[in-house]
Structure 1
């Protein structure tokens, strides 16, 4: 066994000649420096644990550090060795303690890694079970089988998706549903009731897939359906709306004028595509996928409507959508803001007309109206012109129980002449309300 009084100079200059050599310190027993074949110089202490059976226990070796003259030199190594050996003399086993600490650290690292991996898996699973992710699946696998897919999807993707889109399906409870329905009901009671009706099948589908134990809709009362509106617009109101729409311009000015002329639903007009239109023949063919009742519809267009669409076509804004969304793909959106702007424009016109007539400005705004009132006004107007109720329903593509069975097969051709005469007569009536042509008292009654 080689011994020496270890000094920094001795350790720095010692040459092991490519062999492993251990030199023990004469100043502090059980401290040594190991010179490796590759030139490394490592301080360590070696001891046998005290206590019962100490003689039979194997020697422990604890590496202190590698000699570099700064971080570890003889003085620092000797001081560290004294601390370790003092613990040994007190009956402790620093080697076992260090092993236990290392084992605990590795176990903690493994546990942290396992937790992180589990959280990553849970986060990935969570992404696939958010309201939006499940709604995509529901639309593809369940709603696609329904004739009224378009309206149901629109209801689910509007308020519910906006409110709960990123939530895990299990985080949607009765409280969240009641709050959402109350918020919708404050502005549109009918939409709140319809949304409730679509949430039921969706949550039932989630229960069937074992994603939730029970539907959070259970026990939540359906919002009451609003009393059916009877509001329809007078000729003067039609004139004001048309004039305001003219001033608002593209896209919503054109959309509101088409809503008035055709009597079709808001989403159908806003979502109109060029491939649905035959402007030379004056026909608009709406596919079943875009119709609330799931029934394809073919509509003859009044001359004024054709003129409006040709004007839009001349703008060459989009090859697909007649009224494209500003700065994005898909049809135009933003009816709420557009309606407020239109109402404000109507009030400007009313004040201007009062001033021109030397009259006092109106002290009250135009009686409240909603976009759907345009559809009701078209229906009322055609009825007033003597159009038979079932022909009006065909023009509007509105199915009643008495005729529903025939619509799917014969919709495109049923009462075609009568429908064409009715919509053109209504176009003339709108023009008359604007002072463009003489009013017609009725249409030529065609045999139904």
Structure 2
């Protein structure tokens, strides 16, 4: 959200520079003339680009033009030398920069925003980045994909999707007569071997002993791991946890929608062990941050590698995300709790649309019982709700 408003822009009459944020400025000259500029820095070089008169360019359009310029710079384009007439057909590189500017506001993951252009820059732009987006053809796309199709299959699939997105955008803008013949391109590529990569998980039978070892020494990484295990949450949700999200009196942790993979708020019932754990975490509060698990840098959360390093130091062959699999396997193999309850505890989206249409509740109280049984198991205690099944 920018700092300026349309009313503030109209009211700005004193000479000076008014910042909207992200490098966008409103300039008011000595005569009262107003104009827009965007300041961009890359490779330690700072440049200002004019975006037009404020009398003709409203605030919303100025922000849009600023986003386009920033994306062009990220893609290696000189916005001044590469500006074309409005009716001109952009190159694939320019089209990709425009698509990136339009779409990145809807992406929650900052890493994805950066990688989106980076993959095109690495593999596509050298081949046909400066070719008109209207003339990019199937053979050129096939050759780019074929170069990494077997050696980097996941990257190649993502690259394919991003190329298609740019080409479809060009069709919608009228720069192309039609999309690429992707069915033909796919048939011309070698078959990838399907490999399902699972997160390395600790067997649930080893978990009680692991918890004892985990608590032998205290570090922020180990503490965050304990929270991951007790809540069965994703490590990113735990690392970004803030004290305002916790209601320890009610035994609840409310994860906001913007941090959830499914994009909807998730309420985690906290067993007594988790409540006691977070009470102890109050001793680690820092005045400059509301983060429950602050990192070494002021105001920054722990990195995911901090949790991974804690496991490596313990010589445990597992990853933080794998503890969700540990929890799921325990529910399936050692209890009579229904699968739907375990999926709700993991905040998984219900794949069956018919079931999802009727099952709209959070099953909070049932999940509270489940998480209490899980915490007891982690402590090495037997619980009446847990029924061990014969193998």
TM-score bracket for this pair, using the shorter chain length: 0.5 to 0.7
1:319 CA displacement: 3.3
Maintained 8 Å contact 1:262/1:423:
yes
Measure, in 1, the Cα distance between the counterparts of 2:124 and 2:175: 10
Within the alignment, does 1:381 sit opposite 2:351 as a pair?
no
For residue 388 of structure 1, report the CA deviation from its aligned partner.
Answer: 1.3
- Alignment partner of 1:157 out of 90, 100, 113: 113
CA deviations 1:309-359 (Å, max 9, x no partner) are: 233333222533323443255533243x641x2343223xxxxxxxxxxxx
Q: CA deviation at 1:223?
A: 6.4
**Unmatched 5+ residue regions in structure 1?**
1-117, 144-148, 348-365, 433-437
In structure 2, the partner of 1:207 is 170
Tell me how far apart the structure 2 counterparts of residues 132 and 323 of structure 1 sit (CA, whole Å): 36
Match of 2:312 in 1: 344
Q: Which residue of 2 aligns with 1:431?
A: 379
Instruction: Measure how far apart 1:260 and its partner are.
Output: 1.4
Aligned to 1:321: 291
CA apart distance, 1:154: 5.3
Q: Residues 252 and 268 of structure 2 are in contact (CA less than 8 Å); yes or no, is this contact kept in structure 1? A: yes
Matched, 1:332 2:302: yes
Mapping 1:82-101, distance limit 5 Å: none
| Distance in 2, Cα, partners of 1:156 & 1:440 | 43
Among 356, 362, 366, the residue aligned to 1:418: 366
Residue number in structure 2 paired with 1:281: 250
- Name structure 2 gaps, 5 residues minimum: 1-76, 85-90, 131-139
CA distance in 1 between partners of 2:144 and 2:335 (Å): 48
Cα distance in 1, alignment partners of residues 204 and 268 from structure 2: 24
Distance 1:278 1:236 in 2: 31
**TM-score normalised according to structure 2 size:** 0.56
For residue 322 of structure 1, give the secondary structure of its aligned residue in structure 2.
coil
User: In angstroms, what is the RMSD of aligned CA positions?
Assistant: 4.4
Partner deviation per Cα, 1:35-90 (whole Å, 9 max, x = no partner): xxxxxxxxxxxxxxxxxxxxxxxxxxxxxxxxxxxxxxxxxxxxxxxxxxxxxxxx
Between the aligned partners of 2:250 and 2:238, the Cα distance in structure 1 is 18
SS in 2 for 1:419: helix
Task: Give the secondary structure class of the aligned counterpart of 2:80.
Answer: helix
The whole-number CA distance in structure 1 between the counterparts of 2:368 and 2:226 is 19
Q: Match of 2:239?
A: 270
Tell me which residue corresponds to 1:405.
357
* Corresponding residue SS for 2:254: strand
Given that residues 234 and 324 in structure 2 are in contact (C-alpha distance below 8 angstroms), is that contact kept between their aligned partners in structure 1? yes
Partner of residue 135 from structure 1, selected from 100, 118, 122: 100
1:230: Cα distance to partner? 9.1
In our comparison, the structure showing a higher alpha carbon Rg is 1
| CA–CA distance in structure 2, aligned partners of residues 273 and 217 of structure 1 | 48
Contact 1:385 1:441 (C-alpha < 8 Å) held by counterparts = no
Q: How many residues align?
A: 282
1:51 is aligned to none
